[in-house]
Structure 1
Amino acid sequence: MKFSHSLATAMAWSLPLLTTQLVSQPAMAESTDANASAEELSAVTVTGTRLPGDPSRAPLILDVIDRDDPALSTASSVEDVLSRQPGLHIDGSGRRNGQTLSLRGFDSNGVLVRLDGVRQDIGTGHLGAFYIDPWLIREVQIARGALSSLYGSNAMGGVVSFETVEATDLLQPGEQGGMRLSLGGTTGRDELGGAFSAFGRQDTANGRIDGLLSLGRRESGDIRRAGGQEAPEDAELDSLLLKGGWEPDDRNRIFAQWQRYDETATQPANPQQLGDEDDQRRRQVTSDNVQLGHRWRPADASEVTSRLSLSRQEIDESDANRTLERWGLQSDGYHRIEHGWLTQTLVLGAEVDRASQRPGGGASGFPDADIDTQALYFEDTLSAGRHLAEGGVGVFDLGLGARYDRYDAEGADGRSTEETQLSPKLRLSWRPAQGLMVYSGYAEAFRAPSLSELYADQRHFAGFCPAPGFCFPDNHWVPNPDLQPETSHTWESGFAWERGDWTLRASYFDTRADDFIDSEVDIAAGTTQAVNVQRARLWGFDARLAWEPEAWPEFRAIAGLSEVSGKDRDSGEPLGSETPLESTLGADLDLLDQALTLGWRGRFADSYERPDDEGNLPGYGLHDLQLAWRVTPAFSTSLRLSNLGDKVWYRPNGALGDGRSLFASFNLQW
């Protein structure tokens, strides 16, 4: 075993012991200030900080979608969940296994997707990376910014975290068990489906146990895009979630889970394109995520979570098969210490994982290869001072952090790649008064090359003859084991303000990105190779405004604004508006003693340059209407009518957006 493996594994298992030593410090034992600090740490874990706490004090732009939001409760795909988030775009033609995302100028390779804390990053051809049924999702957090200092590779534009539902999310106060039947569908993909869940918890002589079993099924047909165009498909999706936990005491929880996604679809070879009825193939995509873990809370302001995980994705077609299997061990935790006038919050963690690609049949661009990754990371936030109203100059928070990653990749022919990457972060925030924070910081991020980019050597596409007697040869991938990781350097500054009924958050970022990885195709030579080609600058802003009038508690309004622009730093040529000037507006009104909620969402974008430099794409305005109604304590329904005017619109990459569709879900719980 390599030394780096041993070091990271030792760190992963010794982290609980380190926390034990910190907890034993007298400063934490009886301090009244420590108790107050512990009360500030809410049960919500903020993606991007790995800390529970008040999201309004997180020094980043964070959006949260919970299971009561009609966008989630009626969704049939990840596009339905995320497509109205400002600055975030889901690319593809609506097929579940062809959906990828872009955020802050980075495509899906530069945005990390996590499912219950485990990395999801299979990359092959034109297939996507979202293999989860929305029936199973409890919450989605979208954290924007360079976050490699905590999450490692791919977290250059941000992190999107999906959390699955637990028994405690479904149990009503005083209940020990229950069942739930959900039925739903959407006209936009001619889909009907249902899910059945059984859940419960029980106090025993040896502690509390809880568990949940959920089974789902969806059947769908052709997908309707904007303007009435259709993406042909015939798909069946089966999903499973089995999870449970045991809490022998108030400080410990042992948990286990299995999440499965199994979709079989007849669709075009490239599911990201509209395609036609003559270009169809049968494709099965299965994804299994299994984990066993332990959560330990040795003190009110401390927590350590360790988990052993197995993630396996398989894409099976008639003439090709692709399998990615990932074993991982990770342990991370936080601890808050009071030093009198100074508060210190530590985040520590370690990860070890091994990913293996195994192609079968005529799979192309998916080489037989392995990659081992080890990482150690920490973040230390120091807080001191008093608010201006208390005679001080404000509360200052200084955050220092870094993550060390090492990856060792090897192809089937013995060619190997070894790289290390250090991702530091520095942040300073000032809170002059309650409800006001100003912050600024610097962070570095990276993306390790994929195994396909490093070692692919199969045929890319067949040769062709543009004229009689003149032909180009078959095109083959050429391995590039010397490929360097993409890197970025980001400055970001912003503020958070809360006063009375209003809250406002905004940030501006400026990113210098180096060594973008692109495919260099030489038609005459018959070769394709992944190369480091570009240095770019990306800049833009995000803003969120919310109004919840105390005099009218039944009403809520939100607004979001974002834009991302870029240019090539070598040529000075613009990269185009990576995300056009875009705003999201919404309002909700509660009626019938909050049993009925009516809502409206609007997304508006300015015109922007086509990615192929062939003119501009028009701006657009999209309107959604939604309803959530708890008819009785046992029966509820959600309805959503998206793209009310059936507006023809395009995403920044030129893909046709979704068309008018009615989403519905009905839930009966007993």
Structure 2
Amino acid sequence: MGLTITGHAQLMGGVALWVMVLNGGVAAQDAPVTPVTPLQRIVVGTGNDKVAIDTPQAVTVLDQEAIDAQQARTIGDLFSEVPGVTPIGSNSVLGESFNIRGIGEAFSGDENRIIIQVDGVNKFYEQYRMGSFFSDPELYKQVEVLRGPASSTLYGSGAMGGVITFTTKDASDFLDPGDRIGGRLKTSWDSNGNGWLGSAIIAAEPVKNLELLGNLNYRQSQDIKDGQGNDINDTDFSSVNGLIKARYTFGENDDQSVFASYENWSSDEDDQNYDQISWGPDFGEVDRTVTDQTAIIGYENSFYGNDLLDVKAQVSWSDTRVEQKNQDELCVQFAPPPAPPTCYYPFGYNSEYSYETWQGKADNVATFQLGESWMAYLTTGIDGQYQERRNPRDFGSYQRSGSGSHPEGETTNVGGYTQAELVWNDRITLIPGMRIDYSNVSVDSYVDGSGNTINLNEDKSEVGYSPKLAAMIKMSDWFGVFGSIAHTERLPSLDEVFTNYTLNDVEKELSNNFEAGFTLSFDDLALEGDAFRLKATAFRNNVTNFYASYWDGTSVVTEIIPKARYEGLELEASYATNSVYGTLGASLIRGENATTGGYLNAIPADNAFLKIGYLYRPWNLDFGWKGDFYASQDLVGDDEEKTAGYALHNLYAAWKPTEGHLADSEFRFNVDNVFDKSYRNHLSDDEGAGRSFKLSFARKF
């Protein structure tokens, strides 16, 4: 029921400490600076580029510095400073998924409730007892999280939770003007699990305007330990991942470019639990190989001198594949003793799940000058994808297709969208938008549990609409208000339409979302050159025909809730001087079954984080403390466990020498969970990681 008394005291104590440190920092200042706070980072996922605080939507940007500072072991570790976003599932690199504003469940089909993209390519995997996204933090230079259904306009209908976009590194990130070759070497070590990373990046511009990048990473870890010193099962892993990119720029004024990239992540693990989510032993152990690939080719043309054309287009291929071998026989006592138990392989001797997807997209941004005061930016585009989902299972005498809960089949999606941004004197911004999506899911034939081939030849088509209207008004230089109204429709997935290979008459999920908030922006607040930014957002999301899936102790059950409601508050704030800085984030979310009055599953506990840091500029030394505060969660559904609140304390330091032999080097030292606290995140099925010492060294050349 909100932050507990202990949580309130710890949070208020942290705020008081922040104020005292800032007061001390004010006296120490003697050189003004223009700092950039997290709310001033550039957002590229909202149409026309803008800073985060000026978007009429809740959005958080993690730039390269923020990603490096996390020293993340897995992708989920990146989001500890993003309000409203919670990694779910487990600490296993193969068991992570995401929850945004209470939407996202470990056993639920969230393929278009939360859209995940890498360089504009949709990424999603579903096996119910596995995670949904497999990758490595070292591949990326920026991550954007757009919370709420308003992001559906540009990314796809049904994004009720929001969108997470990952941007991979570029050669230009490692090349100074005039360089022909450059790069970076990096290594890191994590005491919890004795994990380490080796990373090498080579960037080159062998001829003018041709940029090439190669990035190879190897990461491994033993099982990590919780706060009690116990091993957390299946958190050991090794992965090899890499990225190659090429871009050639040409044309008058270098206004055109062609580009291509290929990314590969793979992990080969033996003796893993089949169930990577809840560690249930009922499904036995497997030898498992996971491979994720993405290939892109594209073209961009800004049409120098023509404000009406700025075209970007790309086609891509994506394949996420999980191969499983040597599964244990499961033995079940169907008849009372002395009858022997029946032993069988529930998923066959070998099986392979795959999501293979071909995608294409193109858009254009037209710029209009509407008199002296008005500017308009019109984004129009089209995208489409064709996906084949396969799950052959080897039962010796025959190969079965899929399963009742995971049928094989094809999905085709085509969408068109338009979004206008009308700006008056940089004071008023209006953003109307509309998206229309067509989806078709189909199953031709399949092999049933007896080895018989069944010709189903059925399909189902739907059309979804996603209109929105957002507005931002700067009432003064320091105060702004914003709000949005967005509707989106999630089209039924292959699983929902063809459960047990039967064509089911399922309806679309409908979401109506309302958001409102305000911003504060102060420069020279306490001393010359400082900056304070704050953004507060309140939201309510009413969902009709909500599909809620959960494990009832025997099987995965899907319940259709006629009316569901999500609502909450989010806060982001930051302050920075020449040397002292601090950031604060908080999230409070409620989920209600509006039909029965009960609580929804998968609602994260109220939480907040507070970071206080100091930058000693003569040495370019950055160090500080971060606290993560989580309330107890007792607003749970009937089949969900309550969890206790907790607080985690973390320390960090980074040194970036600018002179001498160590120039262009970077040293980082983090201590996570300093007091080795024992805890469990409410949306995780395993215990949280105990204390960890992290070291990293990187050197650019």
- Report the TM range for the smaller structure's normalisation: 0.7 to 0.9
- Matched with 2:603 is 578
The answer to whether the aligner puts 1:178 opposite 2:195 as a matched pair is: no
The CA distance in 1 between the partners of 2:611 and 2:324, in whole Å, is: 42
The answer to whether the aligner puts 1:371 opposite 2:372 as a matched pair is: no
Task: For residue 579 of structure 1, report the CA deviation from its aligned partner.
Answer: 2.7
The answer to whether the aligner puts 1:257 opposite 2:287 as a matched pair is: no
Note the alpha carbon deviations across 1:568-601, whole angstroms, 9 max, x for none. Answer: 1111123378233211110221125262211221
The CA distance in 2 between the partners of 1:383 and 1:668, in whole Å, is: 43
Q: Which ranges of structure 1 fall in alignment gaps of 5 or more residues?
A: 1-41, 388-394, 458-477
The CA distance in 1 between the partners of 2:190 and 2:606, in whole Å, is: 30
* C-alpha spacing 1:188/1:85, structure 2 compared with 1 (3 Å): farther
The CA distance in 1 between the partners of 2:41 and 2:608, in whole Å, is: 30
Task: For residue 480 of structure 1, report the CA deviation from its aligned partner.
Answer: 4.6
- Matched with 1:61 is 58
Q: How does 1:556-595 map to 2 (within 5 A)?
A: 556-575=581-600, 578-593=603-618, 595=620
Task: For residue 128 of structure 1, report the CA deviation from its aligned partner.
Answer: 1.2
Q: 2:434 aligns with which of 402, 406, 412?
A: 402
- Matched with 2:479 is 436
- Matched with 2:334 is none
Q: How does 1:103-502 map to 2 (within 5 A)?
A: 103-107=100-104, 109=110, 110-146=113-149, 147-204=151-208, 208-233=209-234, 234-249=236-251, 250-266=254-270, 267-274=272-279, 279-299=284-304, 303-318=310-325, 319-340=350-371, 341-361=373-393, 363-364=402-403, 365-384=405-424, 395-412=427-444, 413-457=456-500, 479-500=502-523, 501-502=531-532
Task: For residue 298 of structure 1, report the CA deviation from its aligned partner.
Answer: 1.9
**1:323 match: secondary structure:** strand
Q: Is the 1:75–1:663 Cα contact (8 Å) retained in structure 2?
A: no
- Matched with 1:91 is 88
The CA distance in 1 between the partners of 2:231 and 2:88, in whole Å, is: 16
The CA distance in 1 between the partners of 2:533 and 2:81, in whole Å, is: 20
- Matched with 1:37 is none
One-letter amino acid of the counterpart of residue 626, structure 1 = Y
- Matched with 1:46 is 44
The CA distance in 2 between the partners of 1:217 and 1:139, in whole Å, is: 20
The CA distance in 2 between the partners of 1:650 and 1:587, in whole Å, is: 25
The CA distance in 2 between the partners of 1:167 and 1:639, in whole Å, is: 27
Q: 1:510 aligns with which of 540, 544, 548?
A: 540
One-letter amino acid of the counterpart of residue 637, structure 1 = F
Q: Is the 1:76–1:185 Cα contact (8 Å) retained in structure 2?
A: no
Task: For residue 186 of structure 1, report the CA deviation from its aligned partner.
Answer: 1.7
Task: For residue 295 of structure 1, report the CA deviation from its aligned partner.
Answer: 1.4
The CA distance in 2 between the partners of 1:236 and 1:303, in whole Å, is: 42
- Matched with 1:543 is 571
The CA distance in 1 between the partners of 2:532 and 2:678, in whole Å, is: 34
Q: Is the 2:83–2:572 Cα contact (8 Å) retained in structure 1?
A: no
The CA distance in 2 between the partners of 1:566 and 1:518, in whole Å, is: 12
Greater mean deviation of Cα atoms: 498-507 or 478-487 = 478-487
The CA distance in 1 between the partners of 2:674 and 2:386, in whole Å, is: 46
* C-alpha spacing 1:567/1:650, structure 2 compared with 1 (3 Å): same
- Matched with 1:651 is 681
The CA distance in 2 between the partners of 1:592 and 1:43, in whole Å, is: 21
**1:578 match: secondary structure:** coil
Q: 2:653 aligns with which of 607, 619, 627?
A: 627
Task: For residue 534 of structure 1, report the CA deviation from its aligned partner.
Answer: 3.9
* C-alpha spacing 1:96/1:612, structure 2 compared with 1 (3 Å): same
The CA distance in 2 between the partners of 1:191 and 1:141, in whole Å, is: 27
**1:69 match: secondary structure:** helix
* C-alpha spacing 1:643/1:545, structure 2 compared with 1 (3 Å): same
Task: For residue 342 of structure 1, report the CA deviation from its aligned partner.
Answer: 2.5
* C-alpha spacing 1:423/1:666, structure 2 compared with 1 (3 Å): same
Q: Is the 1:322–1:366 Cα contact (8 Å) retained in structure 2?
A: no
* C-alpha spacing 1:179/1:548, structure 2 compared with 1 (3 Å): closer
One-letter amino acid of the counterpart of residue 308, structure 1 = V
- Matched with 1:5 is none
One-letter amino acid of the counterpart of residue 454, structure 1 = V
**2:495 match: secondary structure:** helix
Task: For residue 53 of structure 1, report the CA deviation from its aligned partner.
Answer: 2.2
Q: Is the 1:483–1:532 Cα contact (8 Å) retained in structure 2?
A: no
The CA distance in 1 between the partners of 2:478 and 2:51, in whole Å, is: 12
Q: Is the 1:70–1:626 Cα contact (8 Å) retained in structure 2?
A: no
Q: Is the 1:243–1:257 Cα contact (8 Å) retained in structure 2?
A: yes
Task: For residue 193 of structure 1, report the CA deviation from its aligned partner.
Answer: 2.4
Q: Is the 2:127–2:406 Cα contact (8 Å) retained in structure 1?
A: yes
Q: Is the 2:642–2:682 Cα contact (8 Å) retained in structure 1?
A: no
Q: Is the 1:417–1:481 Cα contact (8 Å) retained in structure 2?
A: no
Note the alpha carbon deviations across 1:246-282, whole angstroms, 9 max, x for none. Answer: 0013211111000000111232111123467995321
**1:149 match: secondary structure:** helix
One-letter amino acid of the counterpart of residue 326, structure 1 = T
Q: Is the 1:370–1:411 Cα contact (8 Å) retained in structure 2?
A: yes
The CA distance in 1 between the partners of 2:641 and 2:65, in whole Å, is: 41
The CA distance in 1 between the partners of 2:698 and 2:160, in whole Å, is: 38
**1:225 match: secondary structure:** coil
- Matched with 1:30 is none
Note the alpha carbon deviations across 1:211-265, whole angstroms, 9 max, x for none. Answer: 1011111222213234333223342211110001000132111110000001112
* C-alpha spacing 1:320/1:202, structure 2 compared with 1 (3 Å): same
- Matched with 1:532 is 560
* RMSD between superposed Cα atoms in Å: 2.6
Q: Is the 2:241–2:266 Cα contact (8 Å) retained in structure 1?
A: yes
One-letter amino acid of the counterpart of residue 559, structure 1 = L
* C-alpha spacing 1:278/1:415, structure 2 compared with 1 (3 Å): closer
One-letter amino acid of the counterpart of residue 323, structure 1 = S
Q: Is the 2:513–2:541 Cα contact (8 Å) retained in structure 1?
A: yes
One-letter amino acid of the counterpart of residue 575, structure 1 = L
Note the alpha carbon deviations across 1:321-348, whole angstroms, 9 max, x for none. Answer: 0111100110123222111043211111
Q: Is the 1:111–1:158 Cα contact (8 Å) retained in structure 2?
A: yes
Greater mean deviation of Cα atoms: 115-124 or 642-651 = 642-651
The CA distance in 1 between the partners of 2:367 and 2:52, in whole Å, is: 17
Note the alpha carbon deviations across 1:620-644, whole angstroms, 9 max, x for none. Answer: 1111111211242232222221111
Q: Is the 1:331–1:349 Cα contact (8 Å) retained in structure 2?
A: yes
One-letter amino acid of the counterpart of residue 532, structure 2 = W
Between Structure 1 and Structure 2, how many residues are aligned?
Answer: 592
Q: Is the 1:314–1:322 Cα contact (8 Å) retained in structure 2?
A: yes
The CA distance in 1 between the partners of 2:262 and 2:118, in whole Å, is: 12
The CA distance in 2 between the partners of 1:277 and 1:510, in whole Å, is: 39
The CA distance in 1 between the partners of 2:170 and 2:604, in whole Å, is: 35
Greater mean deviation of Cα atoms: 594-603 or 570-579 = 570-579
Greater mean deviation of Cα atoms: 589-598 or 190-199 = 589-598
Task: For residue 397 of structure 1, report the CA deviation from its aligned partner.
Answer: 2.4
Q: Is the 1:494–1:508 Cα contact (8 Å) retained in structure 2?
A: yes
Q: Which ranges of structure 2 fall in alignment gaps of 5 or more residues?
A: 1-39, 326-349, 395-401, 445-455, 524-530
The CA distance in 2 between the partners of 1:227 and 1:64, in whole Å, is: 34
TM-score (norm 1): 0.83
* C-alpha spacing 1:66/1:641, structure 2 compared with 1 (3 Å): same
Note the alpha carbon deviations across 1:513-541, whole angstroms, 9 max, x for none. Answer: 11122459999xx9977563342111001
